[in-house]
Amino acid sequence: MSTDTAFALGLLALTQPRFPDRVRAFLLSVAVVDDLVSLVVIGTAYSQEVRLVPLAVAAGVFAVVLLVRRAGIRVGLIYALLGITAWVAVLKSGIDPVVVGLVMGLLTYAYPASRTDLERASDLFRSFREQPTPELARSAGIGLASALSPNERLQLLYHPWTSYVIVPLFAVANAGIVISGSFLAHAYTSPITLGILIGYIVGKPVGITGASWLLARVSRGRLRPPVGWAAVAGVGTIAGAGFTVSILIATLAFGGVELQEAKLGVLSTVLGASAITWLVFRATALLPARLQFRALLGTTQAITDLAAPVDSGRDHIRGPDRAIVTIVEYGDFECPYCGQAEPVVRELLAGHGDVRYVWRHLPLTDVHPHAQLAAEAAEAAADQGAFWPMHDLLLRHQDELLMPDLIRYATEVGIDPTRFRVRLDSRADAARIAEDVDSADLSGVSGTPTFFINDRRHYGSYDITALTEAVRAAKAARLAAIGPAAPRR
- Average pLDDT of 185-201? 91
Per-residue pLDDT band for 96 (boundaries 50, 70, 90) equals confident
Say yes or no to pLDDT of 406 above 70.
yes
- Three-state DSSP class for residue 317: strand
- Average pLDDT of 187-193? 91
For residues 424 and 417, what is the distance between their CA atoms, to the nearest angstrom?
10
Say yes or no to pLDDT of 249 above 70.
yes
* DSSP string across 35-92: HHHHHHHHHHHT--S--HHHHHHHHHHHHHHHHHHHTT---HHHHHHHHHHHHHHHHH
Domain ranges of the chain: 5-47+96-109+150-285, 115-146, 316-482
- As assigned by CATH, the class of the 5-47+96-109+150-285 domain is mainly alpha
Closest CA to 329 of 430, 467, 431, 469: 467
pLDDT in tens, 100-159: 888 888 888 787 777 788 888 888 888 887 788 888 888 888 888 888 888 888 888 888
- Average pLDDT of 435-447? 90
The pLDDT value recorded for residue 282 is 86
Say yes or no to pLDDT of 402 above 80.
yes
For residues 437 and 226, what is the distance between their CA atoms, to the nearest angstrom?
30
- Average pLDDT of 255-262? 90
Please, what is the angle between helix 52-70 and helix 98-106, to 10°? Answer: 30
- Average pLDDT of 280-307? 77
The pLDDT value recorded for residue 16 is 65
Say yes or no to pLDDT of 222 above 60.
yes
Instruction: State pTM to two decimals.
Output: 0.67
Say yes or no to pLDDT of 489 above 50.
no
Separation of first and last alpha carbons in the chain: 53
Per-residue pLDDT band for 346 (boundaries 50, 70, 90) equals very high
53: CB partners within 8 A, 6+ apart: 93
For residues 375 and 334, what is the distance between their CA atoms, to the nearest angstrom?
9
5-47+96-109+150-285 matches 316-482 in fold: no
State the average pLDDT for the chain.
86
Q: How would you class 80 by CB atoms within 10 Å of its CB: exposed for 0-12, middle for 13-18, buried for 19 or more?
A: exposed
* DSSP string across 87-147: HHHHHHHTS-THHHHHHHHHTS---PPPHHHHHHHHHHHHHHHHS--HHHHHHHHHHHHHT
CATH number of 316-482: 3.40.30.10
- Average pLDDT of 50-60? 90
